[in-house]
Every structure is written in C-alpha cells, then in structure tokens.
Structure 1
Amino acid sequence: MKTVRLTLRHDAETIHPMHRFVADSDAFDAYRMVHGNFAGDDDNAFIFHVVGDPDVYKAALADTDRVHDYELTRTGDRSFTVYVRDVPEGIDKRLLELFTEGSLVTLPPLEYRSDWTVRFSVVGDPSDIRQALEGVPDGIETTVDRVGEYDGSDAAVGALTPRQREALRVARSLGYFDVPRSASVEDVAAELECAPGTAAEHLRKAEATVIDALEL
C-alpha cells in the first residue's frame, strides 16, 4: 500500500463554512478532525479537537444550517472537543466519497489551517489514490507533499521524513530524551555522522511534527 500526504487548498466557493469561520477568526489556534464516521447518507459524525474560544465556536455552530447536531466538551482553559453531525452536500460530500472509495483509508488527524488548507494522509492502492486526486473538484488546489510505502506507522510517525525518524530513534537510544538527559546533541550528531547544528535541526523539526500531529 502507498501513503500520500496531501494539502488541499480551498477557495471561497469550496471551503466549509466552519473551516472558514475558524480560519478567519483570531479566537482559534488549532482545528483538527481526529475521528470520523463517513458511512451515513443523511449525515456524518465527526469529532474535532479545537484550541480556542469554545463560546465563539458554539455560537458559530448555532448559526450554520450545515450542522445537524453537536455536543461540545471542554478539555482545558482554551481547548475542547466537539462531536458533530454534519449534513454532507455538494463538494464536501464529493471529497468524502473520493478519499474513502475502494481501497482508500484517510488517516486522522485532518488539520484545518488558517490559510484555508486541509492537510491529511491517505493510504491505498496507487490507482485508487490517483483516481481520487483526478476527481478533486474545481476550486480546490491539490498538493502532494509526500509519497511513500505505508509501514503501519500512526499519523504522527507517518508525518516524519526518514531522516527525522532516524534522528529520533538515535536520540532515544542514546538517552537524549531521558530525565535527566544522558546524551547531548553532539552525541546524536556523531551517531548520525552530521554536524551538531544539523542534528539539532532534525530533532526540532521532528519534535514539532510529532506534537502537531498528536490529539492534544
């Protein structure tokens, strides 16, 4: 099976109203779909993790006719999860169909970003992936960020480059993440056969990628 990391950029006609609202508001820092049930013909069920103002988000949900039902649960001062029953229509319905047809499995989380893009990974036969990409509706710009063989990694690990994964493996084996730390960046760099600055950059980027993909 192949896995691809995709970025879909919406325009004003194709973006979901809740994505647009969160993207254009200063009240939110992160917006991710962490679970979804795409089996229903009348509506679909999703769970989102959001970092931001829950009251502002709840008011926006009440104003849209695209949401059939919802339940919001606070998980912190500025974080919450929301269970949503969303009525699929038009382009949104088509996208759900495209990336769940045939052999395709969409890997959560789906990251809804402030630049009107959605980032996620898909696993499946290359022919099914190619067919899905060819079927993306007009008004959505598709970028293939990464292509590889699916090795069973979860979304966080799958988002790493091979060099970043190697850096994390080496750092862990040497004790770089121990408390107290028993290895330095210089130790990691020596094992990777690169400069300490390069090793530090690999680790910083890897840590940021993993944290960004986690359901926090």
Structure 2
Amino acid sequence: MKTVRLTLRYDAETIHPMHRFVADSDAFDSYRMIHGNLVGDDDNTFIFYVVGDPDAYAAAMERTEEVGEYDLTRTGDRSFTVYVRDVPEAVDERLLESLTKGSLVVLPPIEYRSDWTIRFSVVGESEDLRRALAGIPEGIEATVDRVGEYDGTDAAVGALTDRQREALRVGRELGYFDVPRTASVEDVAAALDCAPGTAAEHLRKAEATVMDVLEL
C-alpha cells in the first residue's frame, strides 16, 4: 500500500465557515479533526480537538448553517473536543467521495491551518490514489507533500499532542536529536517560549508516546 501526504488549499468559495472562522481568529492555536465518519447521505459526523477559546467557538457554531447538532467538551483551560454532525456542501461531498473510494483510507488527524489549508495522509492502492487526486473539486488546490510505502508510522504521529509534535519539530530543526547533539533543552525551550523543565517534559512524553506506538 502507498501513503500520500496531502495539503489541500481552499479558496473563499470552498472553505468551510468554521475553518475560516478559526483561521481568521487570534483566539485559537490548534484545530484538528481526530475522528470522522461518513454516516449517510444527509450529514457527516466528526470529532475535533481544538486549542483556543471554547466560548467563541461555540458561538460561531451556533451561527453556522452547515453545523447540525454538536457537543462541546472542555478538556483543559483552553482545550476542548467537539462532536459535530455537519451538513456537507456539494464540494465537501465530492471531496469525501473522491478520498474514500475503493481501497482509500484517510488517516487522522486532519490539521486545519490558518492559511486556509488542511494537511493529512491517505493510504491506498496507487490507482485509487491517482483517481482521488484527479477528482479533487474545483476551488481546492491539492499539493502532494510526500509519497511512500505505508509503514504505520502515521499512527505514532497521530498519538502525539499538538505541543508534543511542536516540541519534536523544533528539536529536530534546532539539532536536539543530532548526533552529536547541537542544541540543548534550553534552546528548545526558548523556541517554544516555555521553561526548560516544560520543554524537557514535552520531549520526554513525545518520545515515550512514539516508542509505545511503534512495533519494534
């Protein structure tokens, strides 16, 4: 099986109102779909994990016609999950149909980013992947970031929290994982704008999470 890492860029006509709201607001740090299920012809069911202002998010949900019923659960001071039944637009239906045909499986999490893009991976047979890319609706620009053989490592990435992933990314960019090491925990902490002890904890928990998921 092949795996393809995709970035989809939406225009003003195709972006979902909630994605646009979060992207254009300064009140949110992270927005990810962690589970999703196509339940029928009328609506879809998703669970999102969000870091930001839950009250602002709930108010926007109430104003959005595409959102059916939802349930918001706070998981921290600025983090929450949202179970939502969403009424898809035609472009969303075509996109979902394109990405779920045949052998294809979309791997969570799906990252909703402030530049009106989403990033995620899809696993499947080569022909189905080519067909899916050809079927991306007009108004959505698809970029293939990476192609390879599926080896299960996406599961490790999906198990990390946003902050753990950021700590690993920053550590890699600075050289914390180089041999010999060219950056310290203090360097990572400065880039993350947190205390060295906090940065060390993020790195330690991230490394433990990845090791637990990988089958060695």
Q: TM-score range by the shorter chain?
A: 0.7 to 0.9
Q: Which residue of 2 aligns with 1:123?
A: 123
Secondary structure of the 1:136 match is coil
Q: Find 1:197's aligned residue among 147, 166, 182.
A: 182
Identical-pair percentage: 71
Could you report, residue by residue, the CA deviation over 1:165-185 in whole angstroms, capped at 9, with x for unpaired residues? Answer: xxx9xxxxxxxxxxxxxxxx6
User: Segments of 4+ in structure 1 off by > 6 A?
Assistant: none
- State whether residues 109 and 155 of structure 1, in contact with CA within 8 Å, keep that contact through their aligned partners in structure 2: no
Q: Which residue of 2 aligns with 1:99?
A: 99
Output the amino acid matched with 2:15. Answer: I
Could you report, residue by residue, the CA deviation over 1:121-173 in whole angstroms, capped at 9, with x for unpaired residues? Answer: 00000110110001111111111111110012334448xxxxxxxxx9xxxxx
Deviation at 1:33, TM superposition (A): 0.2
Output the amino acid matched with 1:19. Answer: H
CA distance in 2 between counterparts of 1:10 and 1:156 reads: 28
RMSD value, Cα: 2.6
CA distance in 2 between counterparts of 1:28 and 1:73 reads: 16
Secondary structure of the 1:189 match is coil
CA distance in 1 between counterparts of 2:60 and 2:156 reads: 30
Q: Which residue of 1 aligns with 2:197?
A: none
Q: Which residue of 1 aligns with 2:172?
A: none
Could you report, residue by residue, the CA deviation over 1:90-123 in whole angstroms, capped at 9, with x for unpaired residues? Answer: 1111111111111000000000000000000000
CA distance in 2 between counterparts of 1:18 and 1:157 reads: 25
Superposition TM-score, scaled by structure 2 size: 0.74
CA distance in 1 between counterparts of 2:32 and 2:155 reads: 13
In the alignment, is residue 28 of structure 1 matched against residue 28 of structure 2?
A: yes
CA distance in 2 between counterparts of 1:47 and 1:157 reads: 18
Output the amino acid matched with 1:126. Answer: S
What number of residue pairs does the alignment pair up? 175
Q: Which residue of 1 aligns with 2:40?
A: 40
CA distance in 1 between counterparts of 2:96 and 2:90 reads: 10
CA distance in 2 between counterparts of 1:36 and 1:145 reads: 22
Q: Which residue of 1 aligns with 2:14?
A: 14
Give the unaligned 5+ runs of structure 2.
159-167, 169-175, 192-202, 211-216
Q: Which residue of 1 aligns with 2:56?
A: 56
Superposition TM-score, scaled by structure 1 size: 0.74
- State whether residues 111 and 118 of structure 1, in contact with CA within 8 Å, keep that contact through their aligned partners in structure 2: yes
CA distance in 1 between counterparts of 2:107 and 2:65 reads: 27
In the alignment, is residue 146 of structure 1 matched against residue 152 of structure 2?
A: no
Give the unaligned 5+ runs of structure 1.
159-167, 169-184, 191-195
- State whether residues 48 and 81 of structure 1, in contact with CA within 8 Å, keep that contact through their aligned partners in structure 2: yes
Q: Which residue of 1 aligns with 2:68?
A: 68
Question: Larger C-alpha radius of gyration, 1 or 2?
Answer: 1
Shift of the 156–143 alpha-carbon distance from structure 1 to 2, 3 Å rule, reads: farther
Output the amino acid matched with 1:113. Answer: R
